[in-house]
Amino acid sequence: MITKRVLDALEIHEGIASILKQRTVKSDWKTFTRTVFNLIAKYINQNVTRTVVENPYLLQEHLLFGEQKFEMLLSELKLDNSHDLVEYLKALEPNKPFNWVSGKTLQSYWSGGSPKELKLNVLLTFLAVPIQEWDEWKYGEAIIIPNENVSKPNNLTESYFNFSKSKTVKDHFLKCISKYYLGSYFLYYLKSDKHGKVVKAPFIIYEDEEGEILFRTINEGQRYISYPAQKMANALCFMGKNLDWEEINEMHLINIGMETNPEVLFGVSITMSKYGGFPMALKNILIRQSQDIHFLDEVKEKEFYIDHTVENEQDALVLNYFKKHESQIMFAEFGCSLADFKETLGNL
């Protein structure tokens, strides 16, 4: 759900309050009609349009709508680039601003609706919140989940990820993870041995006694536990330590959005192949089973052939996904000369 801080800031905004005085005597936003929310949305859209014209990077970095919509707008409006789109916005009549947010969408927020991240960015732009404070406004305070007794790997250094173990400086991205993403998942990925097998392994995201977010898993018979999680752009970043083979560690990057009831997550694991020692990246799918971090404690990993039929619905969905999407595994070859590189390309 949207944070109370954002809702309160909108409710006490002087510009919006001025409009409401002329249109309604009600003060409870939950009782406002769609017409009233349409007026509020129009005012927000006018202000956001002006802000975007003055700060084109909001468009260029796709902070208010995604790249796909950006390209679609350029096509629909027959424009070439972000500069042209800014000029288009500049030429709009004040009474007909660009529709950054609708009255219907705004009304849903006062009925318990959960906003998409880019819509939240629109509201924070309207409220003139500095970008470096956006995460704080979006995620609010964390809910502390019961502690886990599994210890972290030894010999951690703060410089490894440049993080601090202090709860007081844990950023709001990780607070969001603590609040919504802890629990028991099944991790799926396509094996790199070219036999067409998909691995299904328990993958637990939990919070330890010190408030650090970790994962633990059993992966192809080997136990992994992570160093404390870190934010990397909008991804959750784990460095996993292999407890059975000291030289084989791996990194997990899990893409995080604004979903407050995550059931399916996508990510990439980066590790070394067992055969040849090549660096490789594997597409990961995580499907949540429970918020209970002990739910899969006694569950062992499984393997499926990608072209086999399975009864479990979740397993079947994953196998179908891997069949339809190419490039699930990427390898990095050894270094070579330019001549050798050209030779590998043949006549291409």
Query: Tens of pLDDT along 247-295?
Result: 567 899 998 876 778 899 999 998 877 655 678 888 999 999 999 999 9
Query: Tens of pLDDT along 126-166?
Result: 999 988 888 888 876 432 323 334 444 444 333 333 433 33
pLDDT-derived band at 16, boundaries 50, 70, 90? very high
Alpha helices in the chain (DSSP H): 4-11, 14-23, 34-54, 57-60, 67-77, 82-91, 103-109, 117-126, 134-139, 158-161, 172-180, 313-324, 338-345
**Does residue 64 contact residue 125 with C-beta atoms inside 8 Å?**
yes
For residues 153 and 31, the model is more confident at 31
Torsion angle of C-alpha atoms 182, 185, 189, 193, degrees rounded to 10 = 110
Going from the N-terminus, what domains does the chain have, and what CATH number goes with each?
Answer: 4-139 (no CATH), 158-331 (2.40.128)
**C-alpha neighbours within 13 Å on the C-beta side of residue 105:** 17
pLDDT for the residue numbered 40: 94
Query: Tens of pLDDT along 320-338?
Result: 998 887 666 777 777 777 8
Residue type, 257: G
Please state the rounded mean pLDDT for residues 216-235: 83
pLDDT-derived band at 246, boundaries 50, 70, 90? low
Average pLDDT, the chain: 82
Least confident of 148-157, 205-214, 339-348: 148-157
pLDDT for the residue numbered 164: 36
pTM: 0.53
Q: Provide the sign of the torsion angle of the four alpha carbons 335, 339, 341, 344, taken in this order.
A: negative
Q: Does the pLDDT value for residue 300 go beyond 60? A: yes
pLDDT for the residue numbered 260: 75
DSSP 30-61: GG--HHHHHHHHHHHHHHHHHHHHH-THHHHT
pLDDT for the residue numbered 147: 35
Beta-bridged to residue 224, according to DSSP, are 217, 242
Query: Tens of pLDDT along 165-202?
Result: 333 334 677 888 888 899 999 999 988 776 788 999 99
pLDDT for the residue numbered 118: 86
Query: Tens of pLDDT along 46-105?
Result: 999 999 998 888 888 888 887 778 888 888 889 888 888 989 998 988 888 899 999 999
Q: Does the pLDDT value for residue 209 go beyond 50? A: yes
pLDDT for the residue numbered 247: 58
Helices (H) and strands (E) in the chain, counts: 13, 11
- Integer angstrom CA distances of residue 298 from 150, 218, 293: 15, 11, 12
- Integer angstrom CA distances of residue 149 from 88, 146, 183: 57, 10, 15
Q: Does the pLDDT value for residue 302 go beyond 80? A: yes
